[in-house]
Chains A and B, each alone.
Chain A
C-alpha cells in the first residue's frame, strides 16, 4: 500500500509539488535560522567570556556591584594565593587574573608635550608568562592589523580605529594617565606594540589590552587583580556546572556575606544581563519553529483541500471498492507525511548549505549593535550542530500532519453516494 501511495505521489506531481515546496521552504528557513541563532548564542558567549566575564569570575562584592568604571580600589588582594587556591579547588577551570582599567592615553612629541589624547578602556591579562593561556584565548593575533603582539610588560595593543585617530604608530610611546589602586594619579609610559580589530564595536573605538605585569606596576597593584576569570578547560560554557561551582564557592566555609571585600563568584549569566539575553535567544529558537509551523500548516491545509477536491473522484471509487473512510484518511496522511518528509530532507539540505555558508562567512550585524552594552561581536556566524540536521523534522512533519489532518476531514463530511455522484459529471 505504501508503495502504491508513493507511485501516486511521484506520478501526480501537481498533487505533491506545492506541499513539497512549502515544506522545503519552511524547513530551509527553520534550519538556517536555527543554526544562525545557535551560532549567535555560541559566539556571544565565547566573546563575552574571553573579553570580560569569563565562564565564571571571582571578584569582590564591592567590585562586582560597581557598574561604571572598574572599581580597582575594591580589587582582590593576595591574587596569586587566591588563584592557586581556585586552581586546587576547581580544577575543571583555567583561572586567569585580569585588571580592567580606564584612563587617558596621551601621545607626546619629542619634547614630552601632548599632541593628542584619547580616552581608553580595556583590560590587562597575563600575555607573557609561559603557563598562561590568555594569548590563545584572546586570539589577538587574528585581529592584528599593524605591528605585533606585546613581548614585554610595557607594551600595549589598542584598537586600530583609536590608533589612527590618535595618530599613534606601532613602536611609538604613549603615556597612560589613570589612577592607582589608592586613588592617586598614575602616569606610566607604554610602547604601542600593535593595533587590532577586536571585532567588537566599543573596543575598536577605545579598547586597550596590556600585559598584567605592566599594568600592575603602573597602577600600583602588585599581587592584586580586579577579577580572576575562570574558563572551562574545554572552552565551552556549561551552565549547570557553573551554577554548582558558584554555589560551592559562595557557600564555602568562612565566606562572609557582609564583607564587601571578600571574594564572590559570579557566572557569565550573572553579568551584563547576559543570562537574559541568552535565554531570550534560546527561546527564539523554539519560537521560530512555531512561527514556521503555523503558516506552513495553513498553506498545506489549503493545498490539501484543493488536492482532495480534485481527488473526490478517486476517493469515491476507492470507497466503492470497499476502502473505509478511515483508511482513506490515513492514506492521505501517510501520503502527505511522505511528501513532508521529502520536503524536510530537501529543506534540511538547503538549510544546512546556508548554515555552513554562514558558519564560514557570518553576517555583519555591527549597525544593529550601536548601543549594545554587552560585548556582541560585529560579525555573527552560524553554527551547525547535530540538532541542525534534525531540527527541520519538527516543523516539516508537524505542519504536514496538521495541514492534512484538517483538510482530510472533508472525507468524513461527504456522503459516499455524493462522492460517487460527482464522478458522473
Chain B
C-alpha cells in the first residue's frame, strides 16, 4: 500500500451467529491508518473493539467487506499466510499479559524470534535491546510468576516489539494495571512509536490511555461513531 497507509478497512462487517439469531459485532467499518499512528479504539463493552483488532491482526476473518493490512487482504489470507503476516509484522499485547508461565522473561521475549528463525547472536542482541526498552534488562532469568503485573505487561510489550513489527495491536493493555504502571507502559510505547515509527492501535476504556493517543475512534454497536484527532501528550 502506498502513501504511508498501513491499514484500510472497507465496509467491514462481522456477524457472529448466536443460535437462531446473530450478533453484529462490526457494521460497515471504514477506517484508514497510516504508518506511525498512535491511535485508540474506545467504546462501551461489546461495541466491537476486540473484534476489530482480531480481524486486523488476521486472527479472525470478516463476514463481509475487506480489511487490507500491510498490503494483504485479511479476508482472503490462508491460515499459513496469516500466520506469516503476524509473525513478521504484527505484535500483540493482551489485557492479561499472557506470558508463557514455564519460560523465563528472556525466553518469552525470545520466542517470536525463534519462530522467525533468527540466528542466535542476532537473537540475543534483539532480546537484550527489547528488555532494556521496557526497563527489565536485569530480570532476564525471572519467571512471570516472580514479576508484578506491571512488569509482566512490560515483558509482553518487549515480546510484541522485539521483532520490530510495523504494527502493534494492544487490547486493553492497562486494564489490569495501576496508574503508575499504566503511565510507565504508555511512556514506553510512545518512545517506541517515536523512535522506531511503530504503529500502535489500542482498544481501551482507560482514560489514562486516551490522554496519550493522538487519534481517538469511538465505536458504538459496531459502528464508527466518532473519529477525532487529539493533541496527544
B112 touches A314 (CB 8 A): no
- Write the residues of chain B forming the contact surface with A, with a CB cutoff of 8 angstroms: 54, 57, 59-60, 79-80, 83-88, 90, 92, 94-96, 98, 100-103, 107, 111-112, 114-115, 159
Report which of B83, B95, B96, B100 forms a contact with A322, defined as CB distance below 8 A: B83
A324 touches B98 (CB 8 A): no
B85 touches A322 (CB 8 A): yes
- Write the residues of chain A forming the contact surface with B, with a CB cutoff of 8 angstroms: 1, 4, 7-8, 11-12, 313-314, 316-327, 415-417, 420, 423-424
Shortest Cβ distance from A416 into B: residue: B59
A317 touches B60 (CB 8 A): no
B92 touches A320 (CB 8 A): yes
CA distance A344 to B156 in the complex (A): 38
Q: State whether A322 and B102 are in contact (beta carbons under 8 Å apart), knowing that A7-B107, A415-B60, A424-B95 are contacts in the complex.
A: no
Q: State whether A314 and B59 are in contact (beta carbons under 8 Å apart), knowing that A321-B92, A322-B112, A323-B87 are contacts in the complex.
A: no
Report which of B88, B94, B112, B114 forms a contact with A1, defined as CB distance below 8 A: B114
Residues from chain A with a CB closer than 8 A to the CB of B111 are: 4, 318, 321
Shortest CB distance A262–B (Å): 76
B59 touches A4 (CB 8 A): no
B60 touches A417 (CB 8 A): yes
Shortest Cβ distance from A412 into B: residue: B79
Q: Given known contacts A322-B84, A322-B115, A323-B83, what 17 new A-B pairs fall within 8 Å (CB)?
A: A8-B100, A11-B103, A12-B102, A317-B94, A319-B59, A319-B86, A320-B94, A321-B87, A321-B92, A321-B112, A321-B159, A322-B85, A322-B87, A323-B115, A327-B115, A417-B59, A424-B96
Residues from chain A with a CB closer than 8 A to the CB of B94 are: 317, 320, 420, 423-424
Residues from chain A with a CB closer than 8 A to the CB of B92 are: 317, 320-321
Residues from chain A with a CB closer than 8 A to the CB of B87 are: 321-323
CA distance A415 to B79 in the complex (A): 11
Shortest Cβ distance from B95 into A: residue: A424
Shortest CB distance A315–B (Å): 10
Q: State whether A4 and B114 are in contact (beta carbons under 8 Å apart), knowing that A317-B98, A416-B60, A417-B54 are contacts in the complex.
A: yes
Contacts A/B (CB < 8 Å), 22 sampled: A4-B111, A7-B102, A8-B102, A8-B103, A313-B98, A314-B100, A317-B92, A317-B100, A321-B87, A321-B115, A322-B87, A322-B112, A322-B115, A323-B83, A324-B83, A325-B79, A327-B115, A415-B60, A416-B59, A416-B60, A420-B59, A423-B96
CA distance A89 to B32 in the complex (A): 96
Shortest Cβ distance from A418 into B: residue: B60
Q: State whether A322 and B88 are in contact (beta carbons under 8 Å apart), knowing that A1-B114, A4-B111 are contacts in the complex.
A: yes
Shortest CB distance A339–B (Å): 14
Residues from chain B with a CB closer than 8 A to the CB of A326 are: 80
Residues from chain A with a CB closer than 8 A to the CB of B101 are: 12
B59 touches A321 (CB 8 A): no
Report which of A1, A320, A324, A417 forms a contact with B80, defined as CB distance below 8 A: A324
Shortest CB distance B140–A (Å): 14
Residues from chain A with a CB closer than 8 A to the CB of B90 are: 322
Shortest CB distance A424–B (Å): 7
Residues from chain A with a CB closer than 8 A to the CB of B102 are: 7-8, 11-12
Residues from chain A with a CB closer than 8 A to the CB of B88 are: 322
CA distance A424 to B94 in the complex (A): 9
Residues from chain A with a CB closer than 8 A to the CB of B60 are: 415-417
B112 touches A4 (CB 8 A): no
